[in-house]
């Protein structure tokens, strides 16, 4: 089926001199264009909004009519038509100001050079077509970028979820299967040691060494299980898990970490718990790696349908605007929070410590009645 033919371009002619208006109107129509005329700005502005012309030919005396105001309005339209200004010789300065402000072209009044008018109008219309194409291209590009960003966000959310599930599954399997085997081995070994208490020294030595090895294996497996998924998070909740993590951190890095809390963590969803817990872990790791801090203060508030976790260290601080795009820790925190409708804020400056705050809205079922 044939596409309906587009109507000819529409020119808005703003001119108070009836002679010039008639001349231009006739010429423009003779060149196959549509025209609409206005005799003053109060008429021109509503027409501009209603008709969305393809080009404006502005011939009003510049001292009396506010051409700059019109230009500003044109700039505000997404689909702004070009403006051709017709000015008499003594209006040159004002006309040049309009050109500098974004008018498309300047013509001399009384517009008796019709060839020049025709050429300027045609060029203006071509310019407009190119600009519209550029707008459309940008709009399409933006749509593509938005769609791709949404896809990547979905994928990242899916992967994060799958990773947590996988960690939880491995932790459970290690705990149930390996843990049981190690416990059974331990009991058997103790039984053997009991039975062979009076055996030769090489035998008892070997049994003692086996015992030490087995103890090491049990400790290692417990550590791995905890790192994968601390059972305290599932069994005792977020507050207990943060406190436990703070103690572990202090034991490992010798940096005291105080955790304060306000509100009830009983109804928190798995997603909220794991999101805030992982952010806490990453924030502590950053303090240990980068801050050289003496003390950390963390606070969890669960009030007004919102969870906020802040971690404040008195270390070296940094300029958040200059973080390398290759650093993924802070980016990961942001992304995790974004997925729950939350937000990360960082206040830091070199020499001034760092305060990081992760805030997210709670679902109605997470908030105590």
Ligand X SMILES: Nc1ncnc2c1ncn2[C@@H]1O[C@H](COP(=O)(O)OP(=O)(O)O)[C@@H](O)[C@H]1O
- Which residues of the shown chain bind Mg ion in the complex (CB under 5 A)? 286, 329
| Residue 33 contact partner, candidates Mg ion, ligand X, none, CB within 5 to 8 A by sort of partner | none
Burial profile 217-226: b = 16 or more Cβ within 10 angstroms, e = fewer: ebeebeeebb
Cβ proximity to ligand X, 167 vs 334, nearer residue: 334
CA distance 128 to 78: 12
Question: Quick one: three-class SS letters along the chain?
Answer: CCCCCCCCCEEEEECCCHHHHHHHHHHHHHCCCEEEEECCHHHHHHHHHHHCCCEEEECCCCCCCCHHHHHHHHHHCCCCCCEEEEECHHHHHHHHHHHHCCCCEEEECCCCCHHHHHHHHHHHHHHHHHHHHHHHHHHHHHHHHHHHHHHHHHHHHHHHHHHHHHHHHHHHHHHHHHHHHHHHHHHHHHHHHHHCCCCCHHHHHHHHHHHHHHHHHHHHHHHHHHHHCCHHHHHCCHHHHHHHHHHHHHHHHCCCEEEEEEECCCCCCHHHHHHHHHHHHHHHHHHHHHHCCCCEEEEEEEECCEEEEEEEECCCCCCHHHCCCCCCHHHHHHHHHHHCCCEEEEEECCCCCEEEEEEEECCHHHCCC
Cβ proximity to Mg ion, 35 vs 245, nearer residue: 245
Smallest gap, in angstroms, from Cβ of residue 295 to ligand X? 12
Alpha-carbon torsion, ordered 168, 174, 180, 184, to 10 deg: -160
| Residue 363 contact partner, candidates Mg ion, ligand X, none, CB within 5 to 8 A by sort of partner | none
| Residue 217 contact partner, candidates Mg ion, ligand X, none, CB within 5 to 8 A by sort of partner | none
Smallest gap, in angstroms, from Cβ of residue 318 to ligand X? 4
Helix axes of 18-30 and 114-173: crossing angle, nearest 10 degrees: 70
Smallest gap, in angstroms, from Cβ of residue 319 to ligand X? 9
Contacting residues toward ligand X, per CB under 6 A? 286-287, 289-291, 313, 315-318, 323, 327-330, 354
Cβ proximity to ligand X, 236 vs 330, nearer residue: 330
| Residue 290 contact partner, candidates ligand X, Mg ion, none, CB within 5 to 8 A by sort of partner | ligand X
Cβ proximity to ligand X, 102 vs 329, nearer residue: 329
Cβ proximity to ligand X, 172 vs 290, nearer residue: 290
Residue nearest to Mg ion (CB): 329
Smallest gap, in angstroms, from Cβ of residue 14 to ligand X? 56
| Residue 316 contact partner, candidates ligand X, Mg ion, none, CB within 5 to 8 A by sort of partner | ligand X
Is 57 in contact with 15 (CB distance < 8 Å)?
yes
Smallest gap, in angstroms, from Cβ of residue 101 to ligand X? 44
Cβ proximity to ligand X, 28 vs 287, nearer residue: 287
Smallest gap, in angstroms, from Cβ of residue 263 to ligand X? 25
Smallest gap, in angstroms, from Cβ of residue 349 to ligand X? 10
| Residue 249 contact partner, candidates ligand X, Mg ion, none, CB within 5 to 8 A by sort of partner | none
| Residue 315 contact partner, candidates Mg ion, ligand X, none, CB within 5 to 8 A by sort of partner | ligand X
Smallest gap, in angstroms, from Cβ of residue 319 to Mg ion? 16
Cβ proximity to ligand X, 125 vs 333, nearer residue: 333
| Residue 277 contact partner, candidates Mg ion, ligand X, none, CB within 5 to 8 A by sort of partner | none
Residue nearest to ligand X (CB): 329
Cβ proximity to ligand X, 34 vs 290, nearer residue: 290
Cβ proximity to Mg ion, 256 vs 329, nearer residue: 329
Residue 329 vs residues 162, 170, 308, 334: alpha-carbon distances, Å: 19, 23, 19, 9
| Residue 323 contact partner, candidates ligand X, Mg ion, none, CB within 5 to 8 A by sort of partner | ligand X
Smallest gap, in angstroms, from Cβ of residue 345 to ligand X? 13
């Amino acid at each position: 089926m044939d596409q309906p033919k587009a109507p000819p371009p529409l020119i808005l002619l703003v001119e108070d001199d009836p002679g010039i208006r008639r001349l231009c109107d006739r010429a423009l129509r003779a060149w196959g264009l549509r025209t609409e005329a206005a005799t003053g700005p109060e008429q021109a502005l509503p027409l501009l909004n209603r008709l969305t012309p393809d080009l404006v030919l502005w011939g009003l005396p510049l001292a009396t009519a506010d051409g700059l105001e019109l230009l500003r309005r044109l700039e505000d339209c997404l689909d702004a038509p070009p403006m051709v200004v017709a000015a008499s010789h003594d209006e040159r300065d004002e006309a040049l100001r309009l050109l500098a402000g974004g008018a498309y072209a300047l013509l001399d009044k009384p517009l008796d050079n019709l060839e020049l008018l025709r050429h300027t109008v045609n060029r203006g219309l071509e310019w407009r077509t190119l600009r519209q194409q550029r707008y459309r291209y940008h709009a399409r590009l933006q749509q593509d970028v938005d769609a791709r960003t949404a896809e990547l966000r979905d994928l990242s959310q899916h992967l994060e979820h799958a990773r947590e599930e996988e960690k939880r599954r491995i932790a459970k399997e290690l705990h149930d299967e390996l843990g049981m085997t190690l416990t059974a081995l331990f009991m058997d070994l103790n039984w053997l040691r009991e039975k062979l208490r009076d055996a030769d020294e090489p035998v008892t030595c070997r049994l003692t060494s086996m015992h030490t090895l087995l103890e090491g294996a049990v400790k290692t497996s417990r550590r791995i299980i905890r790192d994968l998924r601390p059972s305290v998070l599932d069994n005792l909740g977020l507050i207990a898990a943060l406190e436990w993590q703070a103690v572990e951190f202090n034991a490992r890095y010798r940096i005291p970490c105080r955790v304060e809390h306000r509100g009830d963590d009983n109804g928190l969803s798995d997603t909220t718990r794991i999101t805030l817990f992982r952010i806490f872990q990453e924030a502590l790791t950053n303090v240990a790696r980068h801050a050289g801090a003496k003390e950390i203060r963390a606070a969890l508030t669960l009030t007004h349908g919102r969870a906020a976790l802040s971690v404040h260290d008195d270390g070296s601080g940094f300029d958040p605007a200059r973080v390398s795009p290759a650093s993924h820790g802070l980016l990961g925190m942001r992304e995790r929070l974004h997925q729950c409708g939350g937000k990360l804020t960082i206040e830091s400056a070199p020499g001034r410590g760092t305060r990081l705050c992760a805030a997210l809205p709670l679902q109605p079922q997470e908030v105590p009645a």
